[in-house]
Structure 1
């Protein structure tokens, strides 16, 4: 077990730096903060630290890679929200998800698209003729 005050301070700093905290971060902060810190240092070096790519570009890459990996909807949604907060448009995020189509396929794309549609509140168009549900 970690020191509760130190763990809370660390999680708060992660939230400030990243703009989000995942459920496993909260659990690891309490269970084994040393490993969480080691993992977070790797993430900082590759993702959160200022380098050549701007934060918005990194978020688009993250959204695309998480979609390909079929990460949990909550994980993908957290990066979509961060991208939106950084000024990335819903259309730009959709285009990043669409990049998954040629290499990872329709099912993978649909996974990310469904999360995107929920986060941005996308509205569909209902046909005016009778259709089948398409297996869904």
Structure 2
């Protein structure tokens, strides 16, 4: 079955409306291999977007944590952070969810999610008032 460029465009527009974001690979697959994009999106829709038992807030937090643990790209994590913020999840709730990665996945995985979160919410920190010693581990 062949698909027109208009079909692919309508599909991408629908994805943006339902998800609240569209990733670069979605855009490229819509043009390059539309049937595979549709198949992959059907799985995501069933597990993630369709209203079942878990509410959307919970699913977004789970998605953010799972992407953090998997060390997904910062942009991918940030797309879910933005959706979570848009649907009313607080920045603090998102950080708390990301912190769940610490005991099981470790500091490196946590830092991936943390940096994505920090940029989206524009979080700042406290600078030391004393000179730090050289040779710190960065942790």
* Shorter-chain TM band: over 0.9
In structure 1, the gaps of 5 or more residues are none
Backbone CA RMSD of aligned residues: 1.4
SS at match of 2:21: coil
TM-score by length of 1: 0.96
In structure 2, the partner of 1:122 is: 123
The reply to whether residue 35 of structure 1 matches residue 36 of structure 2 is yes
- 1-side partners of 2:3 and 2:81: how far apart? 31
SS at match of 2:83: helix
Please identify runs of 4+ aligned residues in structure 1 that moved more than 3 A. 132-136
Shift of 1:2: 4.9
In structure 2, the gaps of 5 or more residues are none
In structure 1, the partner of 2:57 is: 56
- The 5 Å alignment of 1:1-136 reads 2-132=3-133, 134=136
Shift of 1:4: 1.3
- 2-side partners of 1:126 and 1:3: how far apart? 55
Shift of 1:3: 1.9
